[in-house]
Structure 1
Amino acid sequence: MVRDVRHGQALVRVVTLTNCRNLTLLSLSQNPLNGMLPVSVGNLSASLRKFYADRCKIKGRIPYEVGNLSNLIDFDLNEENLVGSIPTSIGNLRILQGLFLSDNKLTGTIRYNLCKLQRLGVIELINNLLSGSLPNCLGNITFIREIYLGSNKFSSNIPTGLGNLKDLLDLDLSSNNMVGSLPPEIGNLKALVRLDLSMNGFSNEIPREIGGLQNLEYLSLRHNMLHGAIPDSMSTIVGLEFLDLSHNNISGIIPKSLEKLQNLKYFNVSVNKLRGKIAPQQADSVSTITRERISFYELLQVTDELSESNLIGSGSFGTVYKGILRSGVVIAVKVFSLQLDAGFKSFDTECEVLWNLRHRNLAKVITSCSNLDSKSLVLEYMPNGSLEKYLYSHNYFLDIMQRLSIMIDVACALEYLHHGCSLPVSHCYLKPSNVLLDEDMVSHLSDFGISKLLGEDESDLYTKTLATLGYIAPEYGLDGLVSTKCDIYSYRIMLLETFTRRKPNDLEGDVNLKQWVNYSLPEAVMYVVDANLLTSTGNRLRKELDVLASIMKVAFDCCAESPARRTNMKDVVGMLQMTKIQLLECGSCSSK
């Protein structure tokens, strides 16, 4: 094991290890090596079985000479700055079991030489620039259990040969440019537990053979061009916990047979062409109000003359009160301050945005009231208040899963605003007090009073309206430049705040929240996260710290000073959902 090696000379020292003929494991992980992997790496011991150098800031190309390490079973260069193609000599590593090259800048294609790795169990190439077709011969690697090829530029159909992988557990092809139909051979993957084909260009119908995936727990087909009906066969996947078919062209009715999915925890079919009634017994109360007009006099009645006892909160442009209609439905009434010109503009903006948007994670407008003397919005009431209340009140507590679920909800709302609307929308006012929680702790993004509708090309806008200090992107605060990238920066601050329980401006001296967390990562994640989250011990604690480190990494992917380098919300949603799966797996971890 090699530790505490220093910067540029570290990789040179690897050369001196070529005389260690009995070396079987070499781990350089999480050291700031800041150099190129030397050609002499191929001269290391023929006995070398495991090579770990992830997160070492290694740059340049992978030397062709790594193919000389013929007894290698694990090769890990995740999270580096590697460029160029995967060398063909990798195919010489005939007993390789784990190939980990995620989070680099690798280009080129997956060549047929990879298919020679008949012992390969895991291949991780997530978040690179790989392109072209996937070779059909991948289906010949029958030992393989996990394939992670998400967030690249692959542009082929799914090779039918993958249907040969009877023992495959996890297949991730998300966030690529893949096209064509989902092959019926997909139903042959009987052992599959997780299937993510989201963010591609797949078309035609969902094959009925998908019902053969009896062990499947996670299925995401969101953001494709699938059409036709939801196949009834899906109801036979009885272990399914997560199902996302949103943002497609799926039509027909939601099959009643899906009621059989007793383990389902997440179900999203939004932004499709589905029709029919889902729960007719609930088609009263709030939904009937949306068709009615309501006077300000009636709003005064239901809020007891805007009584202070009904006050929920207040902001720059208005005040929010709780009200109860004659039907017994509880509502929130937002009364705008008309003493300020900005109050008029805020009302108009919020009406324009919220009336035209529909998403489960956005605050829902029931109706509005507007006359010369007053302007008000009637909104769905959120009984659990705001994320801010849960973070900073001593009477409430959110565990890791609850915080992660809330932030995934917020990310889904932003993904919809940025990518799912006819024109992109920048919220511009992200902070915990604007994340409201319903009775099921599902979060709803609120307060669109300063949001901006952008052009079809997501053109930047300039504004003099300022958001809350601490959450503002540099280009917004300095120049008034607004784009969806501003939301991404603000989301990052809020993600850090949610898991550290530190407000962005509450640190001493000139250090901000981003700097404070950055100084402590990745080694000291346990010292920056909210101490109340760390109650586990042993193996489970280590797993939870890994999850928290993954969350912090997502936050920093969103925080680049340059807007062009910030991760988009589609990718953020995908990364956090993968982290949630990682956290769910922690539930079965032993504490020993």
Structure 2
Amino acid sequence: MVGSLPPEIGNLKAATMIDMSMNQFSNEIPREIGELQNLVHLSLRHNKLQGSIPDSVSNMVGLEFLDLSHNNISGIIPMSLEKLQNLKYFNVSVNKLYGEIPSGGPFKNFSSKFFINNEALCGSSRFSVPPCPTSSKHKSSRKKVFVLFLLLGIALVFALITFVFILIRNRRVKRTPQQDDSNITRERISYHELLQATDDLSESNLIGSGSFGSVYKGILKSGIVVAVKVFNLQLDAAFKSFDTECEVLRSFRHRNLVKVITSCSNLDFKALVLEYMPNGSLEKYLYSHNYFLDIRQRLSIMIDVACALEYLQHGCSSAVIHCDLKPSNVLLDEDMVAHLSDFGISKLLGEDDSDLYTKTLATYGYIAPEYGLDGLVSTKCDVYSYGIMLLETFTRRKPNEFEGDLSLKQWVSYSLPDAVMDVVDDNLVTPTGKGLQKELDVVASIMNVALECCAESPARRTNMKDVVAMLQKIKIQLLAC
């Protein structure tokens, strides 16, 4: 969506959650938004909003979650926001804010990362910002002008260096005839650069292996840490897998999809250079004794995956079927935001298609019945796999560890609604905890959503738009626990 947020937003007095993130809204946040005193969750991140944070936000006494990150908001953070005693999450990173960060009320508990990449914020050292100056306003203004000119000079020098670097690089690419694949993204990278980045694809840099190749950690000349997915060209299917991943990752953009930075391809070598995910996979966090995810983290991760699937199924001109959803293909960045990866066997539906047939089989335990029996795939297959993965995330039981006629889905359904404690991950709830029953109710609600996803009949499965809405509602209930 584009345009401005209308002043009439203040009329939504009964609303408890507003999420307008990942749009193109511009201009100022209307002061009328302060009239939403029942609002619990407000997310306006990743827009183009300008102006200052309205002081009227301090009237939103029910607010628990406020995300204004990744905009062009300027001015100061109003001290009046210290009155929002219910505020548990406040993120204004990547804006143009300056001045003192409030330190009272809920701000006592906020992390420094929620204020990074702003113009000139200052305050307490625990926010990792410089102390605020004690000199006069005149000196402060002169200092701001000086800093502004300094930053402008640095930006000009950086732009000049970047221009020269791109010019040299383009000349080098023209002299290198080895890369001739049509599925190359904006910038190309040579085979030798990849070898240098990964220390000759050394075992010490190996971070994962799959059906069609291996993934290595690498550091480019620019200092950027990347993941290099090298395809095993001894497998005929690897060629198609490379082409498919190139097409999907090049054509579709979403914050919860792994980003492809560039690629390298010639007759003997094919690789994708992907955004590096420092926290590894969801599988690592579920099954390693060295890591732990609480209820809120697991729910947030699965909402991220649901948002990615909603985009692939409903937000693209051609729907994409991932075909291999599982915890090892859900990667976590430094902020524990989930990114869906590995589109090697994915399928793209045409405008007139609702399903298609394939001979490629995915991972046992996550496959929808119609996919495994007849090779018939549709977006409903991904809904089924997502439901199984949602059950796995909260039970910490793999779907392929059950024997005989019993399945993970049946094991959970037999225990709902009265025996949730029998199936939930033992580490997730404390039997003697004060909020035990509320936590079990939340988990039961999540598992009911999962069971709606993995109904036997594709027609009876819910859709990902409804899944996102239901899980967001459960998240708000969890925040209130």
Common fold by TM > 0.5:
yes
What residue identity is the alignment partner of 1:194? T
Partner residue of 1:194 out of 3, 9, 16: 16
Please give the per-residue CA displacement for 1:509-551, whole angstroms capped at 9, x wherever unaligned. Answer: 3211001111111110011010101126354001000100010
Deviation of 1:327 (Å): 2.7
Alignment correspondent of 2:326: 431
Distance 1:567 1:258, change over 3 A: farther
- CA deviations 1:426-463 (Å, max 9, x no partner) are 11110000001111111110000111111224521111
Q: Counterparts of 1:189 and 1:338 in 2: how far apart (Å)? A: 57
| Shift in alpha-carbon separation, 1:242–1:232, aligned structure 2, 3 A | farther
- Aligned pair count? 383
Q: 1:217 maps to what in 2?
A: 40
Query: What is the SS of the residue equivalent to 1:505?
Result: helix
| Higher Rg of the two aligned structures | 1
- After TM superposition, give the deviation of residue 187 of structure 1 in Å: 2.2
Q: Write the letter of the residue equivalent to 1:461.
A: L
Q: Which residue does the alignment assign to 1:415?
A: 310
Q: Is the 8 A contact 1:382 1:439 kept in 2?
A: yes
Read off the aligned partner of 2:57 and give its amino acid letter. I
Q: C-alpha displacement at 1:220, in angstroms?
A: 6.5
Q: CA deviation at 1:377?
A: 0.2
- Cα gap change, 1:305/1:584 in structure 2, threshold over 3 Å: closer, same or farther? same
* Residue of structure 1 equivalent to 2:455: 560
Post-superposition Cα deviations, 1:130-187, rounded to whole Å, max 9, x if no partner, equal xxxxxxxxxxxxxxxxxxxxxxxxxxxxxxxxxxxxxxxxxxxxxxxxxxx9985652
Over the matched positions of the two proteins, sequence identity in percent amounts to 74
Residue 373 (structure 1) aligns with = 268
Q: Is the 8 A contact 1:193 1:218 kept in 2?
A: no
Shift of 1:255: 3.5
Say if 1:315 and 1:439 are closer, same or farther in 2 by CA, change over 3 A.
Answer: same
Alignment check: 8 A CA contact 1:209 1:233 kept: no
Matched to 1:541, the amino acid is L
- Counterparts of 1:243 and 1:425, CA distance in 2: 32
Residues 523 and 267 (structure 1), Cα distance of their counterparts in 2 relative to 1, 3 Å cut: farther
Alignment partner of 1:237: what SS?
Answer: helix
Alignment TM-score, normalising by the size of structure 2: 0.71
For residues 303 and 419 of structure 1, do their structure 2 counterparts lie closer, same or farther at Cα, with a shift above 3 Å needed? Answer: same
Cα gap change, 1:215/1:255 in structure 2, threshold over 3 Å: closer, same or farther? farther
* AA in 2 matched with 1:256: S
The alignment partner of 1:322 has SS state of strand
Cα distance change, pair 193–422 in 1 and its aligned pair in 2 (3 A): closer
Q: Secondary structure of 2:435's partner?
A: helix
Alpha-carbon distance in structure 2 between the residues aligned to 1:519 and 1:331: 44
CA offset at residue 324 of structure 1?
Answer: 1.4
Task: Give me the TM-score of the superposition, normalised by structure 1.
Answer: 0.58
Match of 2:360 among 448, 461, 465: 465
Measured on the aligned residues, the alpha-carbon RMSD in Å equals 3.7
Residue from 185, 189, 197 that aligns with 1:302:
197
Equivalence for 1:329: 224
Q: Which has the higher helix share?
A: 2
Counterpart residue identity of residue 397, structure 1: F
- Given the superposition, is the C-alpha separation of residues 295 and 229 from structure 1 closer, same or farther in structure 2, using an over 3 Å criterion? closer
Q: How many Å separate the matches in 2 of 1:368 and 1:185?
A: 47
Give CA-to-partner distance per residue, 1:227-281, whole Å, 9 cap, x none. Answer: x985858644256554689xxxxxxx7443596689655799xxxxxxxx99999
Q: Which residue of 1 aligns with 2:146?
A: none
Question: Which amino acid in 1 is paired with 2:293?
Answer: L
Aligned residues of 2:50 and 2:72 also touching (Cα < 8 A): no
Partner Cα separation in structure 1 for residue 455 and residue 26 of structure 2: 38
Q: Give the distance between the partners of 2:19 and 2:292, measured in 1 at CA.
A: 35
Distance 1:189 1:363, change over 3 A: closer
- Tell me the distance in 2 between the aligned counterparts of 1:426 and 1:399: 29
Gaps of 5+ in 2: 94-116, 120-150, 170-184
Whether the aligned pair in 2 keeps the contact of 1:458 and 1:483 (CA below 8 Å) is no
CA contact (8 A) 1:386 1:434 kept: yes
Q: 1:572 aligns with which of 458, 467, 476?
A: 467
User: What's the counterpart of residue 440 of structure 1?
Assistant: 335
In structure 2, the CA distance between the partners of 1:344 and 1:328, relative to structure 1 (3 Å rule), is same
Structure 1 residues 471 and 265, CA, compared in 2 at 3 Å: closer, same or farther?
Answer: farther
Q: How does 1:138-537 map to 2 (within 5 A)?
A: 187=10, 194-196=16-18, 209-213=32-36, 216-219=39-42, 230=49, 235=54, 236-238=56-58, 240=63, 242=65, 254-256=72-74, 264-265=89-90, 292-535=187-430, 537=432
Instruction: State the one-letter code of the partner of 1:217.
Output: V
